[in-house]
Amino acid sequence: MFFRKLKTFSKGGVHPLGKKVTQNKSIQTLPPPEKISLILKQHLGAPAIPVVEINERVKVGQLVARNNGYVSANIHSSVSGRVDKIEDVLDISGYKTKAITISAEGDDWDESIDRSPDVKHDFNLNSIEILKKIQDAGIVGLGGATFPSHVKLAIPFSKFANILILNGVECEPCLTSDHRLMIEKGEEILVGAKILMRAVHAHKTLIGIENNKPDAIKHLETLAKKYENIKVYALKAKYPQGSEKQLVKALIDKEIPNKGLPIDVHTIVDNVGTAFAVYEAVQKNKPLIERVVTVTGKYVKHPCNFLARIGTPIEHLVQAVGGLPENTGKIVMGGPMMGKSLSSLNYYVTKATNGLLVIPAEDSKREKVRECIRCAKCVSVCPVGLEPYKLMTLVERSQYDDIVEEKIDYCLECGSCSFVCPSYRPLLDYIRLGKSVIKKKTA
């Protein structure tokens, strides 16, 4: 029998089973909510500075907060209406953070935005002009890290990139936002890839997609035939393949050094969602005001993929899928592996929100922690080759010098170790604690 070996990263990894219920549900445009709150720090780097005043009228796509310094991103209004207040709201951890609240009136878009649905293929901008447009549109990495894209794409003089990698892996179970985007906006993503290639002077694009999304692979493969330098690769489904370093290892078999970036092996990795946002910013003049969010759960009535405006209250999303089921135990923002559970529903969609997971009470509780039996399952699944059981014990005993020697800073915080532990030990929680202590000590 002919058997083609699929590409994947070499070491560790798990394959969590999670039904992708929403993979055949097409993206629905969520009607704009009555009120939005745009958190000023929804990207890595310095929080944006508001440029609007209270009671000022804004249009959809109007700049409301400009970037504060180079490593920061612009924020645009996603609804038209009146600026209500610029006040503290609660962030995902429950701490206070500044946000601009806008109450919506009508749906009045900025004139410069092209809202026609047809795909625009041609562009004649050079690298600097593209980067300027990306910076103005406030585009950040939509895979979850929210690193400002214009910083990532501006390659330092001493380095060069010849390969662009588009990340369509979506290795988190349950989430389908990238999957649906690839199927419905495939053409746009490929144009976005072309724009990105010109921006970084790369001559080749590789798109990595896990083989549990055969429809997306087939669709993009047929579309990519028109472009000679874009190739689609099917990857073996394994978590955490969506991580930058693991994806580079899987696709071009090169290791990124610790604390290094993909640029060190002459590649640039971007999410497919980012490529789509870049397309919209460059070709349609549309800033980043919307993103695809998967809302799903075991007992959710109508799980769906939404094209939601950034700043939409979580409650609005929950109502759109038919309200919270009665036995809800936990609401997780993001995927089940790396997502963060919400402490209240008073939160808003940010540029990083790729999914909302409603977990029933029976599945939400953690099991009772038992003693470590030294089975070394955590060691075998760690994608970077650490010994999580050892790190946890060292952090428990506050031996912080030893964890530095054990290379705790290599940890991706993917959670594979906690996932496989038969004693349900909170390995990742302690590793995170150790990392934060070291960060404080060195700072």
> Residue numbers of the site for another protein (CB under 8 A)?
92-95, 343-344, 365-366, 369, 426, 429-430, 432-433, 436
Nearest CA among 199, 213, 286, 175 for reference residue 6:
213
- Gyration radius of the chain over CA positions: 22
Nearest CA among 380, 413, 422 for reference residue 13:
380
> Whose Cβ is closer to another protein: residue 62's or residue 416's?
416
In the complex, the smallest distance separating the C-beta of residue 310 from another protein, rounded to whole angstroms, is 22
DSSP codes of every residue in 72-90: ---EE-SS-EEEEEEEEEE
> Whose Cβ is closer to another protein: residue 115's or residue 365's?
365
> Whose Cβ is closer to another protein: residue 3's or residue 95's?
95
> Whose Cβ is closer to another protein: residue 4's or residue 440's?
440
The distance in angstroms from the start CA to the end CA of the chain is 57
In the complex, the smallest distance separating the C-beta of residue 295 from another protein, rounded to whole angstroms, is 20
> Whose Cβ is closer to another protein: residue 383's or residue 434's?
434
Dist CA 81 CA 102 (whole Å): 6
> Whose Cβ is closer to another protein: residue 51's or residue 90's?
90
In the complex, the smallest distance separating the C-beta of residue 126 from another protein, rounded to whole angstroms, is 45
In the complex, the smallest distance separating the C-beta of residue 363 from another protein, rounded to whole angstroms, is 12
Nearest CA among 65, 34, 35, 63 for reference residue 48:
65
In the complex, the smallest distance separating the C-beta of residue 436 from another protein, rounded to whole angstroms, is 5
In the complex, the smallest distance separating the C-beta of residue 426 from another protein, rounded to whole angstroms, is 4
In the complex, the smallest distance separating the C-beta of residue 431 from another protein, rounded to whole angstroms, is 10
> Whose Cβ is closer to another protein: residue 107's or residue 429's?
429
DSSP codes of every residue in 86-122: EEEEE-TTS-EEEEEEEEE-S--B-TTS----S----
Angle between the 186-200 and 214-224 helix axes, to the nearest 10 degrees? 60
Q: Is the peptide bond preceding residue 240 cis, with omega within 30 degrees of 0?
A: yes
Backbone angles phi, psi at 237, to 5 degrees: -70, 110
